[in-house]
Amino acid sequence: MRDIEGKVAFITGAASGMGLGMTKAFTKAGMKVMMADIDEKRLQAAAADLKARGADVDTLRCDITIEDSVFAAAAATVKRFGTVHVLCNNAGVSVGGLSEELSQKDWDWVVAVNQTAIVYAMRAFLPLMKANGESGHVMSTASMAGLVNAGAGWGAYNASKHAAVAMMEVLYSELKDTPIGVSVLCPGAVNTNILEAATHRPDHFGKSDDRPIALNPIGETLQQGLDPDVVGELVLDAIRENQFYIFTDPRMERQIERLFDRIKLGFAWARKNEHLIAANQPGGRSCRRVRIAGGRQGLRTPFRSPAGPPGTQTASGPLRWKAQRAPRIPPGTALSRVGTPPPAHTVRGSSTSAVWDRSPPRA
């Protein structure tokens, strides 16, 4: 979405932290912003400050855990600004506690704000955004905790943020033939007011029992975190450049690699499993890694992976997945025999050469 000026954005959690940072960046670039938040006092103060600097903003007190409140916000935004081009599902909360110790209301609250509210917003805003026929963008704020395990006590937050990432991945596929782009923001530590999350807990989710947002103390980490105004500029860049994954801390790439290593160990284990081998499951021990003409590599598998969002392709091109039946291996065949490499050969007369995937990845 290159053409930003004059476009209308709706941002949740706009009174504070990254939502406020996005509002500042968007209005500086000439956009109009409907700022939505549950914290009326902070919202008015933030809007007054921005208006004094000439920003075209308006405010809505909105509790995104209430479906009607989100639909009313969509209607009010259209009434005030005529339409909506950019939807930022940004508000989020956390409560720390071991998975079985958190109350059901703790779980419900975190899931309602971080996950279900995105569903409400997609249903309330997307039809409006599609109807105007103009280019637009949907951005949801997840977290690095939407991709990796944040550790003990982060269960509700981790689960809801994984859901946010999954929803944006699917939405990307659903909107890829429209002028509406999709992004998911996965920040590391950012210096915001998120430690005060419990003060924004609506009454219908009961008391917080003074639980902190995490079991481990993270106050110092957050204080040393990134300036939320920088995140606002980063999100604007991503919308302009149609960048799907928005990361704020490139050092955290290693955590993703470690997760992939663990997942690959699971596949290596499955590849050696006698039951799968006996069931002649394609992609088992006999799975071949194939070099496709043009230097690309792909594991042959019965599943077709949809083309990923922009930014999910390798330097040498997108990973290519192809269906193949593995050679039949008689039940009870010793694993050592299954692992015998076949000779290199050419597939369908192309320059494709097969490489035997002999050993499972190491731990």
Ligand X SMILES: NC(=O)c1ccc[n+]([C@@H]2O[C@H](COP(=O)([O-])OP(=O)(O)OC[C@H]3O[C@@H](n4cnc5c(N)ncnc54)[C@H](O)[C@@H]3O)[C@@H](O)[C@H]2O)c1
Contact flag: residue 193 with ligand X (CB under 6 A): yes
Sheet holding 180-186, edge to edge: 57-61, 32-37, 8-12, 86-89, 136-141, 180-186, 245-247
Name residues contacting ligand X, limited to 214-253 (CB under 6 A): 222, 225, 228
Contact flag: residue 12 with ligand X (CB under 6 A): yes
Contact flag: residue 187 with ligand X (CB under 6 A): yes
Contact flag: residue 184 with ligand X (CB under 6 A): no
- Please work out the total of residues on this chain that contact ligand X, with binding judged by CB under 6 A: 32
Contact flag: residue 171 with ligand X (CB under 6 A): no
Q: Residue from 4, 8, 11, 18 that binds ligand X (CB under 6 A)? A: 18
Q: Which is nearer to ligand X, 67 or 134 (CB)?
A: 67
Contact flag: residue 87 with ligand X (CB under 6 A): no
Helical residues (DSSP H) of 176-299, grouped into ranges: 219-223, 228-241, 253-272, 274-278
Q: Which is nearer to ligand X, 4 or 190 (CB)?
A: 190
Quickly count: other Cβ atoms within 10 Å of residue 106's Cβ: 23
Do 193 and 165 touch, CB atoms closer than 8 A?
A: no
Contact flag: residue 155 with ligand X (CB under 6 A): no
Evaluate the CA torsion angle 353, 359, 360, 362 in order and state its sign.
Answer: negative
Q: Which of these is catalytic: 120, 157, 172, 245? A: 157
Q: Residue type at 154?
A: W
Q: Assess whether 157 carries a catalytic annotation.
A: yes
Question: Which range touches ligand X (CB under 6 A), out of 187-195, 285-293, 296-304, 310-318?
Answer: 187-195
Closest Cα partner for 246 from 25, 5, 10?
A: 25
Give me the 48-77 binding string for ligand X, x by CB under 6 A, dash otherwise.
Answer: --------------xxxx------------
Q: Residue from 4, 34, 35, 38 that binds ligand X (CB under 6 A)? A: 38
Q: HSE (CB half, 13 Å, CA atoms) of 130?
A: 11
User: In the structure encoding, which two tokens stand for residue 240, read together?
Assistant: 């302009």
Contact flag: residue 138 with ligand X (CB under 6 A): no
Cα 360 to Cα 363: distance, rounded to the nearest angstrom: 9
Q: For residue 41, count CB atoms less than 10 angstroms from its CB and return exposed for 0-12, middle for 13-18, buried for 19 or more.
A: exposed
- Would you tell me which residues interact with ligand X (CB under 6 A)? 12-13, 15-19, 37-39, 62-65, 90-93, 113, 141, 143, 187, 189-190, 192-194, 197, 200, 222, 225, 228
Which residues are catalytically annotated?
A: 157
